[in-house]
Chain A
Amino acid sequence: MNQEAIRDKLASRFGEDVIQAAKEFRAQFSVTVRPAGILNVSHFLKDDPELAFDFLSFVCAVDWYPNTPRFEVVYQLYSTRHNHRFRIRTILEDSASGPAAVDSVTPVWPTADWHERETAEMFGIKFRNHPDPRKLLLPDNWTVHPLRKDFPLEGTEEHTPDLPR
């Protein structure tokens, strides 16, 4: 299926309460999904025989600081059966009750495990119901999220010490 067809199929299956927007950039389409709908959309993308996105290439995030809403989590998908690709994203914001949060897609694609762990530590985004919510790369004692745009590149003695205190 080509990119428009995938977008149209998604739009006809899910209403506007799930699909927020569809973007085109250089003949590549991506669909913005509301955070609450991410698991349903993921299941559909994987299980529908015409789509069959059985391979999650990558999960990452974008920090649009100082804009609000601030974060975007991006999922790059690939179908080994049909050899087509697609991209979905979801827009998040830190709230008063805690950090930006979205459901983990590990029930759909187990490979999301490490990708989400890295995204979580680097951006401070919480992935709900993640099976193993530890840090992946950073030292365990760090509490900062270095890929946030308001993080000082060189770190600080207080937050990124050479040695664990």
Chain B
Amino acid sequence: MGIERHLNDTVHVTNLEWFVNWARKSSMWPLGFGLACCALEMIATFVSRYDLSRFGMEVARPSPRHADLMIVSGTASKKMIPAVRRIYEQMAEPRWVVAMGACACTGGIYRNYAVVQGIDRHLPVDVYIPGCPPRPEALLDGILQLHAKVLREQSLKNPRITQVKVAGT
């Protein structure tokens, strides 16, 4: 098509925004941290059987400064929240958050004084994955949904909102 044909398909023409989004979604760097039992399913997703590396993101970084995807895997207790917020603030921008499992989405079965009723009270969540815990297939699907979302972002015009929230708003 067009100029590409004249150059024997050795170049591709696209727009800058799509290219930036494609680069971002093709190499996300998940943060290696887990809060509760969902973390075990997350680990299963990372290793060879489900093999997250097929999507260019097998390296879980122990340091938040090297990561741009936070998978909140499990129950967030109120005592843990200051640490979770701080880790999120240390992550490199642009950064994304996946709420994995019923507890991270809403507090789950723990409707009590000690558990945060949904991590979206504190962090801007991009994808919610229900399940208790979600199977690795569900996490993979959630990550693919996130990839699709990143591809649609207007990354050059509108900077992402990536600030922690004031509790409860």
- The judgment on whether A and B are partners is yes
B156 at the interface (CB under 8 A from A): no
Q: Is the pair A154, B81 in contact by a Cβ cutoff of 8 Å?
A: no
| A141 nearest CB across to chain B (Å) | 10
Interface size class on chain B is 10 to 19
- CB-nearest residue of chain A to B81: A162
Q: How far apart sit A133 and B112, CA to CA, in the bound complex (Å)?
A: 25
Asked whether A155 is an interface residue with its Cβ less than 8 Å from the other chain, the reply is yes
User: Is there contact, CB below 8 Å, between B112 and A153?
Assistant: yes
Measured between beta carbons, the chain A residues less than 8 angstroms from B167 are 161-163
Cβ of A62 under 8 Å from chain B: no
Say yes or no: is A132 at the interface (Cβ < 8 Å to chain B): no
Q: Are B122 and A162 in contact (CB under 8 A)?
A: yes
A163 touches B79 (CB 8 A): no
A146 at the interface (CB under 8 A from B): yes
Residues of A within 8 A of B (CB): 137-139, 144, 146, 151-155, 157, 160-164
Residues of B within 8 A of A (CB): 78-79, 81-82, 85, 111-114, 116, 121-122, 167-168
Instruction: Give 28 A-B contacts (CB < 8 Å), ordered by A residue.
Output: A138-B79, A138-B114, A139-B79, A146-B113, A151-B113, A152-B113, A153-B111, A153-B112, A153-B113, A154-B111, A154-B112, A155-B112, A155-B113, A160-B78, A160-B113, A160-B114, A161-B167, A162-B81, A162-B116, A162-B121, A162-B122, A162-B167, A162-B168, A163-B78, A163-B81, A163-B82, A163-B167, A164-B82
